Amino acid sequence: MKAFRLFAFLIAAWPVFAHAALNVFACEPEWGALATELGGDAVKVYTATTAFQDPHHIEARPSLIAQMRRADLAVCTGAELEIGWLPVLLRQAGNAAIQPGQPGYLEAAQQVALLEKPAVLDRAQGDIHAAGNPHIQTDPRNIARVAQALGARLAEIDPGHAAAYRARLADFNTRWNAAMARWQARAAPLRGMPVAVQHEGFPYLENWLGLKQVAVLEPKPGVAPSVGHLAEIAAHLKTAPAKAVIRAAYQDPRPSEWLAAHAGIPAVVMPFTVGGSERAKDLFGLFDDSVDQLLKVAR
Amino acid sequence: MLRPALLAAALAVASPAHADDADLAALRAEVKAMKADYETRIQALEARLAKAEASAATQPPSPPQDTASAAPSNPGAFNPEISVILQGGYAHLKDIPERRITGFLPNGRPPGSTRGFSADDSELVLASNVDPYFRGYFNATLNDGTVGVEEAWFQTLALGRGLTLKGGRFRSGIGYQNEQHPHAWDFATNNLMYEALFGEGYGNDGLQLRWVAPTDLFTELGAEIGRGANFPGTDRNTNGVGSYALYGHVGGDVGDSHSWRGGVSYLSTRAEARSGTLADFAGTDVNAAFTGDSTTWLADFVWKWAPRGNSTIHNFKFAAEAFRREESGSLDCTGGMCGARLGAYRATQYGGYAQGVYQFMPRWRAGYRYDLLDPGSRDYGVNDAYLPRPGYKPSRHSLMVDYSPSEFSRWRLQYTKDRASQGQDENQWYVQYIFSLGTHGAHSF
């Protein structure tokens, strides 16, 4: 009975804070940045991961459960990218509003057409995603599509600020379309540029800019390459040369540095998401920097 | 559509062989006029299309048809998530018929591993959302001739306000390692603390209510009631509540690289004629049956480190737990020097473990664990005259290295210096494999 009283006291004594702003739980930095663009002061955004963390492998940490508990809206990539940790957060948070199927749960990957849907589902193929490649944020046209859905969803679950969300979305669309025109014009020399990638993380970027992927360092998605495998790729690049080997900021630098040294091509670290480089402070900076990083090696 | 019709009309008109020249000229003129008319119309349409395309480019694109949602209805798509854990290996151990932890009342299950090769316990797990309100989970261990239902529970999805209700047979939320199944352990063998307290881990048939506080600091409180049939309690064939447990955990992050969780738990249950084997002063085995109350306090702490929160290359995990168990009631000692004598029993015992596991390169981890138990104070009443109360402190050192080719497979080599039993100083070697097949979901912190 003593123990019961102790627990009752703890429950009563714990400070419970009330927040007026809409709490948004963003699984990845790009969706956190987008929620900030579209929500402004009306939302309080918590971003669960950083650009230096591998979104496939995140611990279902207590701090994430605590944030998910208070979220009014969860924005995640989906397409099984977060399958190793998001289900635990959703089940342990005890929050009915952000369960899949509720208005408070938004999957970005559902808003766009996914590339690289595997024909055969077999773990022998490595860490593949049944729904397709989930790294959709490297194409700004996908960001634009997700923005429409997110703007509409914010207005739906927070009708008091609906007019403000719609105005911010319209403003974002104008700025984003102008920026896309600018990036596309600047990136014209990148069309047809051959690149090697460390992880199959860039099909959407390649599709947008017309890059030609000639090699992947990982023998299977999610499987780190051995030196022998890298040597084979270096040999392969002799016949099909690449301008650069690119990787995301969170990835182990060693495989691409090794290849860069042995194949005599530059290794490029792409920000991959918001926060991945000094310039990638927001979504606009992300693509400014991504295009510039590639232009540097295009010449 | 238009052009074939036009041609057909022209042919139909032109086919009569005896049409005169004037008619033909008139027809040709008419066809020419029609052709010109259609061409201007097509040009107008093309201009409109180009205009529409241009305006569409400046408009935000509309979401494309999601091909995934258009998948044909497949009855198999509603099958539960199925996974199988294959676990087994090789153990090099001394031939000890009945392993005991000196100074602790045994839990009635034969502890210890099989010598040589064995395919341990394979687990079958089925899980699925039942409907928008509940999730179901089933976990069975399969062995030769036996199937054990480890867990079979439902859990609410949509209770909200931080509340989750779980019911059925489940692993209690007390402590840290308790909810983990053997395949999720960081070592090939259980720690001495859980072996002495519960055998493997404390499971119960009952209800669990969890509440997560709406605070930045992770705070969860849990309360459980249940049948209380498992060690340290016994099945007592009664109505009502046979055991209850309370626990609280707090946790959070320190910067990007560190995260932690700590907690306190309390378990109260009752045993009736819980039998086990002890040795008397003459070294003869006697049967000792305990009847009374058993209360356990547990404290747990876990700390994880990964540079900038990226655990793929290097990471470190530290976990420690400690307990205090108090049992009071009577002990019925039969056989050996006791004869048949009912005496009092009162014991307050302690113990714990601490372990560290470091991933020193991708896929490779090394770990060390230290286990220590303190038999504490024991009072056997009249049986004090027949039963020894050694002050021996059982301990164990374990070292392991494991290699995980992928997140679904793991190989492990472990060396253990086992001093659980007084007078035995055993070197144990284990080689273990753990494979998970199918949709093996996420693991908790």
> How large is the ipTM?
0.87
- Please report residues of B whose CB lies closer than 8 A to that of A54: 310, 312
**Residue where the block lists tokens 């890298």:** A230
* Average pLDDT rounded to a whole number, residues B31-53: 67
Last residue of a domain, one of A182, A197, A214: A182
* Average pLDDT rounded to a whole number, residues A47-59: 95
pLDDT at B425 over 70: yes
Cα-Cα-Cα-Cα torsion B337, B340, B341, B342, nearest 10 degrees, comes to: 140
Out of B217, B249, B311, whose CB is closest to A57?
A: B311
Which residues constitute the domain of residue A259?
187-298
- Please report residues of B whose CB lies closer than 8 A to that of A60: 442-445
Q: State pLDDT tens for residues A96-105.
A: 999 999 999 9
Q: How many CB pairs under 8 A join A and B?
A: 170
- B58 domain-assigned: no
More confident residue, B54 or A111: A111
Q: Tell me whether residues A97 and B442 touch, CB distance under 8 A.
A: no
Q: What letter does residue A168 receive in the DSSP assignment?
A: H
* Average pLDDT rounded to a whole number, residues B301-330: 96
* Three-state helix/strand/coil letters over chain B: CHHHHHHHHHHHHHCCCCCCHHHHHHHHHHHHHHHHHHHHHHHHHHHHHHHHHHHHHHCCCCCCCCCCCCCCCCHHHHCCEEEEEEEEEEEECCCCCCCCCCCCCCCCCCCCCCCEEECCCEEEEEEEECCCCEEEEEEEEEECCEEEEEEEEEEECCCCCCEEEEEEEEECCCCCHHHCCHHHCCCCCCCHHHHHHHCCCCEEEEEEEEEECCCCCEEEEEEEEECCCCCCCCCCCCCCCCEEEEEEEEEEEECCCEEEEEEEEEEEEEEEEEEEEEECCCCCEEEEEEEEEEEEEEEEEEEEECHHHCCCCCEEEEEEEEEEEEEEEEEEEEECCCEEEEEEEEEEEEEEEEEEEEEEECCEEEEEEEEEEEEEEEECHHHHHCCCCCCCCCEEEEEEEEEEEECCEEEEEEEEEEECCCCCCEEEEEEEEEEEEECCCCCCC
Pairing verdict, β A22-26 and A43-47: parallel
* Average pLDDT rounded to a whole number, residues B303-324: 96
In this structure, of A270-274, B8-12, B144-148, B321-325, the range with the lowest mean pLDDT score is B8-12
- Please report residues of B whose CB lies closer than 8 A to that of A57: 311-312, 407
* Average pLDDT rounded to a whole number, residues A30-58: 96
- Is residue B78 very low, low, confident or very high in pLDDT (cuts 50, 70, 90)? confident
- Is residue B15 very low, low, confident or very high in pLDDT (cuts 50, 70, 90)? very low
What is the total residue count of chain A?
Answer: 299
- Please report residues of B whose CB lies closer than 8 A to that of A250: 310
Q: Are residues A234 and A201 in the same domain?
A: yes
pLDDT at A16 over 70: no
With a pLDDT cut of 70, the percent of chain A lying above it is 93
CATH number at residue B400: 2.40.160.10
> A128 CB near a chain B CB, below 8 Å?
no
Q: Mutate which of B219, B267, B301 to disrupt the A interface (most A C-beta within 10 Å)?
A: B219
Q: Are residues A23 and A171 in the same domain?
A: yes
**Contact call for residues A221 and A168 (beta carbons, < 8 A):** no
**What is the pLDDT of chain B when averaged over all its residues?**
87
- B184 domain-assigned: yes
pLDDT at B312 over 80: yes
Q: Tell me whether residues A84 and B407 touch, CB distance under 8 A.
A: yes
pLDDT at A36 over 90: yes
* Average pLDDT rounded to a whole number, residues B318-341: 95
With a pLDDT cut of 70, the percent of chain B lying above it is 84
- Is residue B62 very low, low, confident or very high in pLDDT (cuts 50, 70, 90)? very low
pLDDT at B70 over 90: no
Which residues constitute the domain of residue B42?
2-15+23-49
Which B-chain residues 219-248 have CB contacts (< 8 A) with chain A? 219-221, 223, 246, 248
Q: Are residues A219 and A276 in the same domain?
A: yes
With a pLDDT cut of 90, the percent of chain A lying above it is 84
Q: Are residues A86 and A153 in the same domain?
A: yes
Q: Are residues A172 and A81 in the same domain?
A: yes
- A203 domain-assigned: yes
- B303 domain-assigned: yes
- B74 domain-assigned: no
- Is residue B79 very low, low, confident or very high in pLDDT (cuts 50, 70, 90)? confident
Q: Give the residue on A whose Cα is nearest the Cα of B163.
A: A94
Q: Are residues A18 and A55 in the same domain?
A: yes
Q: Tell me whether residues A94 and B162 touch, CB distance under 8 A.
A: yes
pLDDT at B64 over 70: no
* Average pLDDT rounded to a whole number, residues A148-169: 96
Q: State pLDDT tens for residues B299-310.
A: 999 999 999 999
- B172 domain-assigned: yes
* Average pLDDT rounded to a whole number, residues B181-188: 94
With a pLDDT cut of 90, the percent of chain B lying above it is 67
pLDDT computed for residue A220 by the predictor: 87
In angstroms, the CA A249 to CA A51 distance is 7
pLDDT computed for residue B35 by the predictor: 72
Q: Tell me whether residues A96 and B219 touch, CB distance under 8 A.
A: no
- Please report residues of A whose CB lies closer than 8 A to that of B253: 61, 63
Q: Give the residue on A whose Cα is nearest the Cα of B405.
A: A223
Q: Are residues A176 and A214 in the same domain?
A: no
Q: Give the residue on A whose Cα is nearest the Cα of B313.
A: A252
Q: Are residues A29 and A93 in the same domain?
A: yes
